[in-house]
Amino acid sequence: MLPVLLKAFTLIFIMALGYLLKRVRFFSATSYTVVSKIVMNITLPAAIITGFASFVFQSSIIGVVLLGFLCNVLLLIVGYVVARKRDNRTKAYCMLNFPGYNIGAFTMPFVQSFLGPFGIVITSMFDAGNSIMCTGGSYAITSSIVGAKERTRVFASVKKLLSSVPFDTYIIMLTLSLFQIHMPSSVFVLSSTVGNANAFLAMLMIGMMFEMTAKPEYIRQVFLTLSIRYAFAVAFALLFYFFMPFSLAVRRVLAILVFAPLSILTPIFTEKSDGDPALSSLTGSLSILISIAIITMLLVAMHVG
C-alpha cells in the first residue's frame, strides 16, 4: 500500500508544485500553453506508442472505444434533461459540464504510473471514443440546441478531431496492431524515453491551470453538477467492473477512467456556447480535487485486493 500512496502523492505534489510556481510568478498565467503543447504533441503520443509495444489486438477491446463515446452521450442527455426548463446559458453549461473526461492530461499519468503499458492501451482506446465528444461533438450538439452565436459544423468537428496528435496516434497504433505490423524495437526505446516525461509534465500543467476563484452564487450549481456527474461515475464503474465481458485488467482500468475530471476544453466550449466560462472553470478545478481523492483510493483498494 505504501508504494501506491507514495506514487499518488508524488503526482499530487507535482500538480501542487505547478500551482505554487504560478502563484509566486515563476510561471506566468499563460505558461501552461507551452507545456500543454509539449504534452499533447510529444510526450503523450510517445507514452501511447510505448503502451502498444507488447499489445496484442483483441476484437472485443474495440468495445472500449464505444464505451468512451456512450458515457459522454448519456451525460450530455442528462445535462439537457436537468436544464431543459432553464435559460439557454444554464442549459449550455449543463450540457457541456456533465460529460467530458480529462484522460490524456490527467488520468493517463495515473494509469502510466500504476497500471503499466496495457493500462495505457485501454486508456487510449477509451479516450478515442471520449475525444469524439470532447473535441467538438458535445459542443456541436449543444450549440445547435441553445442557438449559440458561434455554431460548429460536423466537418469542422471531424477536422479538429483528426488534427489531434494523440487521437491520430491512437488510430495509427491500433491499425498497426490490427494488421499485426510490428514497429522496430528502436522506436519503442525512443518513445519510452520521451513518454516517461509525460506524467511529470501533464501534472505540472494541470497545476499551472488550476484556479479556485468563485462567486457565492456558483456553489449550488457546481454542487449539483458534480453530484450528478460522480453519481453516474459510480454507476458506470460498478457496471463496467462487475458486468462487462472483459478481463479483470480491463475492467479495473475502466473503473478508474470514469472518475476522470472535466476536460480542459470544457470552459472554452462553454464560453462559445454563451455559457458561463468562470463557472465551468470552477467546476473543472473542483473535479480535479475530487478525482484525485477517488482515483487514489481506488488504486490503493486494487493494490490491497
Q: Is the pLDDT of residue 157 over 70?
A: no
* Average of per-residue pLDDT values in the chain: 88
Count of domains observed in the chain: 1
Dump pLDDT digits (tens) for 255-281. 999 999 999 889 888 888 888 988 998
Judge contact between 135 and 265, C-beta under 8 A. Answer: yes
Torsions phi, psi for 292 (to 5 deg): -60, -45
Domain span holding position 96: 2-304
pLDDT at 51 over 70: yes
Q: CATH number, domain at 273?
A: 1.20.1530.20
Q: Is the pLDDT of residue 152 over 60?
A: no
Q: Who wins on pLDDT, 39 or 98?
A: 98
Per mean pLDDT, which range of 197-201, 231-235, 254-258, 299-303 is the poorest? 299-303
Secondary structure of the chain: what % helix, strand, coil (to 5)?
A: 75, 0, 25
Taking the mean position of all CA atoms in its chain, how far away is CA 65?
14
Say if residue 232's pLDDT is above 70. Answer: yes
Cβ-contact 67, 129 below 8 angstroms? yes
The stretch 285-292 carries a mean pLDDT of 94
The pLDDT value recorded for residue 143 is: 84
pLDDT at residue number 1:
62
The answer to whether residue 46 scores a pLDDT higher than 90 is yes
pLDDT band at residue 150, thresholds of 50, 70 and 90?
Answer: low
Reported as a single tens digit per residue, the pLDDT across 65-116 is: 999 999 999 999 999 999 999 999 999 999 999 999 999 889 999 998 888 8
C-alpha cell at 197: 516525461
The Cα 251–Cα 32 span in angstroms is: 33
pLDDT digits (tens, 9 = 90+) for 171-229: 898 889 888 888 899 999 999 999 999 889 988 988 888 877 777 889 999 999 999 99
Q: How far apart are CA 239 and CA 254, in angstroms?
A: 10
Q: Could you give the CA distance from residue 232 to residue 235 in angstroms, rounded to a whole number?
A: 5
Closest Cα to residue 137, out of 167, 107, 110, 109? 167
C-alpha 256/C-alpha 28 separation (Å) is: 32
Confidence of residue 29 (pLDDT cuts 50, 70, 90): confident
Q: What is the pLDDT of residue 305?
A: 56
Residue 123 CA to residue 113 CA, distance in Å, equals: 13
Dist CA 30 CA 135 (whole Å): 21
CA-CA distance, 76 to 276, in Å (whole number)? Answer: 17
Place 151 in a pLDDT band, splitting at 50, 70 and 90. low
Q: What is the mean pLDDT of residues 277-292?
A: 92
Share of the chain above pLDDT 70, in %: 94
Most confident of 7-21, 207-221, 224-238: 224-238
- Mean predicted confidence (pLDDT) in 42-57: 86
